[in-house]
Amino acid sequence: MTSNPDMKAIAFYLPQYHPIPENDKWWGKGFTEWTNVAKAKPLFSGHYQPHLPADLGFYDLRLPEVRQAQADLARAHGISGFCYYHYWFTGKRLLERPFNEVLASGKPDFPFCLCWANETWSRRWLGEEKDILKQQSYSPTDDLAHVRALLPAFADDRYIKIKGRPLFLVYRPLDLPDPMKTVDIFKNECIKNGLPEPYLMGVDSHCPGFNFQDIGFDSTLFFQPKLGAVPDFMNDNRTIAKLARNIKLGITSSILKVYDSVESRQLMLGQLIEAAQLGFPSHPCVFVSWDNTPRRGKNAIVLVNSSPEIFEAALAEVVSSLIEKPQDERILFINAWNEWAEGNHLEPDLKYGTQYLEAVRRVLLKPSREVVKC
């Protein structure tokens, strides 16, 4: 089954599911993302934790059979490709093995692109400059080494292109000390090697609604979730009362933040629509759900009452907003394919099975004329 040719949905893909020496040192022998996922506990009555994998199990991304099964599942439900997170630290790559093997083997035969997650790694899981594990730094020399390392991926027939140019995302573009210089180095080196200049997309996760054309990029990704768009519902008695009707809150921590999924998503969608009206080149993003207690415990942010139905309505809303755009601009991102430690995954779990994927298929695999705005 193939996806609607009028719409391309790209899912963010986390390569964190295999051990590496650095994580062994920082977190303990054999650590992977599954370590946090499996030990998660519910923090209040009705809190859905842990999220445990169903169809694909606790997989190891070093296995080609796993990577093939993921691609087959994604394609069958209307996903057009994966956007692999890419970790580059001054010539050093981390968690690179799964993508390296995808590139070298030619399998799975499934479209892909890369997103440079250019954050400093810390023990806080927030990209903060505190309790640093791996520092991010920049230089023109490193930019040149970086783009040269990317050339084999950009040249691959499976690499996703916009306007014939390989799509490359940068998670925190404003962290680049001289972004226009970096853009020039990337584009010039690609041209010098006989490739089209890359189509550079800036992710606005930390700078909502920013026009990255102003710093030399081609477009902006309106990333979701934008938790900063949501007021602190824990201090809102009306919201607490509303939540209490649905779950029995047993929260004793003043740090844990619990938000209603429906209200939160509407606020974020409203912000996305406002940003899209700014008129510069942009692409939307829809998130699945959110609960990062596996990583942050009682310091987490939890969106309660998430469901496949709520996600489907949000996805349909975004898809309907793209129908009138030129065909090569009908591209959206889904966050995420497998962010299990943030409760944000299309991959099947024991509670919902394939229901989130079925929602994607209903929205994306029917003719665009049938997509009705919610």
Q: What is the pLDDT of residues 275-314, one digit of tens each?
A: 777 888 999 999 999 999 999 998 899 999 999 999 999 9
Q: What is the pLDDT of residue 232?
A: 60
- Summarised one tens digit per residue, pLDDT across range 15-32 is 999 999 999 999 999 999
Q: Is 262 helix (H, G, I), strand (E, B) or coil?
A: helix
Average pLDDT of the chain is 89
Name the band, by pLDDT with cuts 50, 70 and 90, for residue 130.
low
Q: Name the E strands within 52-180.
A: 81-89, 92-94, 112-116, 121-122, 132-134, 161-162, 165-170
* pLDDT, average across residues 234-259: 52
Query: For 36-88, how does the pLDDT look when each residue is reduced to its tens digit (9 = 90+)?
Result: 999 999 998 899 999 999 999 999 999 999 999 999 999 999 999 999 999 99
* Range name among 17-21, 151-155, 169-173, 299-303 with the lowest pLDDT average: 299-303
CA 337 to chain centre: 7
Taking Cα atoms as reference points, which of 126, 99, 119, 94 lies closest to residue 25? 94
pLDDT for position 265: 87
Q: Which residue has the tokens 């994966």?
A: 82
pLDDT at res. 87 = 98
Rounded average pLDDT over 254-273: 82
pLDDT at 241: 42
Long-range pairs, 304-309, Cβ under 8 A, ≥24 = 304/46, 304/47, 304/243, 304/246, 304/247, 304/258, 304/259, 304/260, 304/261, 305/246, 305/247, 305/260, 305/261, 305/262, 306/261, 306/343, 307/261, 308/352, 308/355, 308/356, 308/358, 308/359, 309/359
User: What residues contact 255, with CB distance under 8 A and at least 6 apart?
Assistant: 298, 299
Q: What is the mean pLDDT of residues 192-200?
A: 98
For residue 310, the model assigns a pLDDT of 95
Residue 185 has pLDDT above 80, yes or no: yes
Is the confidence at residue 248, as pLDDT, over 50? no
DSSP, res 181: H
Q: Kind of pairing, strands 81-89 and 92-94?
A: antiparallel
pLDDT tens by residue, 305-348: 999 999 999 999 999 989 888 888 899 999 999 999 999 999 99
Residue 93 confidence class, pLDDT cut points 50, 70, 90 = very high
Would you state the pLDDT for residue 228? 76
What is the percent of the chain where pLDDT is above 70? 88
Both structure tokens of 21: 């020496």
Where is pLDDT greater, at 296 or 114? Answer: 114
pLDDT value, residue 229: 72
- Helical packing angle, 355-364 and 308-322, nearest 10°: 20
Can you tell me the mean pLDDT for 230-237?
Answer: 52
Rounded to whole angstroms, the Cα distance separating 61 from 77 reads 21
Report the pLDDT value the prediction gives residue 38, as an integer from 0 to 100.
97
CA distance 222 to 286: 9
What the chain holds in terms of domains, given with CATH numbers, is 8-228+262-294+306-370 (3.20.20.80)
132 phi, psi to nearest 5 deg: -70, 135
Element (H, E) at 301: strand 301-304
Q: Would you state the pLDDT for residue 67? A: 98
SS3 state of residue 76: helix
Structure tokens at 125: 């899981």
Name the least confident of 141-155, 206-220, 250-264.
250-264
SS3 88: strand
Confidence label for 247 from pLDDT (cuts 50, 70 and 90): very low
Contact 11, 333 (CB under 8 A): yes
